[in-house]
Amino acid sequence: MTMIDTETVAEAPRAEPESTKRRDIIDGARKVFFEKGFDGASMDEVARAAGVSKATIYVYFGSKEELFEALVLNDRARSAEHLFVVDPSIGDVASLLHRIGISFMTMMVQPDHIRLVRMVIAIAEKFPRVGHAFFDAGPCHGGQRLASLLRQQADLGRLRIDDDLAAAYEFFNLCQSNSVKGLLFGVGEQPSPAQIEETVERAVRVFLAYYGTARAG
């Protein structure tokens, strides 16, 4: 970790977790990490991008790894909030899955998301805590949220599911098809909204063919 003047840090007040300054630092870090990558990014560059001193960054984050982990958690939380905003007027499983699938895939194929996943994979062996944080806040959290929705639908008699979490992961994997994996390896182009729609519709049909009931809608 880069050494800093401890007296300078001592003079800076400890901040609340959701303070504006903390958000500014994370936003600055996002710009630098996405442009330079994790190894290429420096705390000096993050400080310039955030409009703060490097000493201020260390008031909030003890290392570049800790800052990147905070960025990962922040971005995954935002994605989850958007993904699972469900319209209460949706009255059938197919429409519910379609809405979630479209939101999920639209997020998954965004260039910034692909860059973030690549960075996490690149440093996960050296910094396993970051890999765990990404997996827990992303795939695990998303799977658990969808599993809860699927259980609600099963309790209404619209699905036949023995393992809610396994079914949730299966749906997400059906939606991804091979699109996301290709983008991660630099193969193919970002799918259009029409292509995402087609893939999600197919995923919903396959999912309901196995888990659906006559009341699936």
pLDDT over 80 (residue 15)? no
d(CA 50, CA 27) in angstroms, rounded, equals: 7
pLDDT over 80 (residue 89)? no
Are 206 and 176 in contact by the 8 Å Cβ rule? The answer is: no
Tokens 């929705």 correspond to 149
Confidence (pLDDT) at 217: 58
Confidence (pLDDT) at 78: 75
Instruction: Please state the rounded mean pLDDT for residues 24-28.
Output: 95
Tokens 């309901």 correspond to 208
Q: What angle do CA 108, 100, 180 make, to 5 degrees?
A: 20
Confidence (pLDDT) at 140: 86
Boundaries of every domain in the chain: 6-62, 71-211
Instruction: Please state the rounded mean pLDDT for residues 139-165.
Output: 92
> Which residues are registered as beta bridge partners of 159?
212
Category of 61 on φ-ψ map: left (φ > 0), alpha (ψ -120 to 50) or beta: beta
pLDDT over 50 (residue 7)? no
Same fold? 6-62, 71-211: no
Confidence (pLDDT) at 88: 57
Instruction: State both tokens at 55.
Output: 């000493």
Which CATH code fits 71-211?
1.10.357.10
- Range name among 23-37, 42-56, 78-92, 146-160 with the lowest pLDDT average: 78-92
Whole-prediction pTM value?
0.81
d(CA 86, CA 70) in angstroms, rounded, equals: 27
Which sign, positive or negative, has the C-alpha torsion 184, 190, 191, 196? positive
Q: How many CB atoms lie within 10 A of CB 22?
A: 20
pLDDT over 60 (residue 44)? yes
> What H or E segment, with its residue span, contains residue 44?
helix 43-50
Q: What is the DSSP letter of 12?
A: S
Asked if the 6-62 domain carries CATH number 1.10.10.60, the reply is yes
Rg of the chain over all Cα atoms, to the nearest angstrom: 20
User: 3-state DSSP helix/strand/coil percent for the chain, to nearest 5?
Assistant: 70, 0, 25
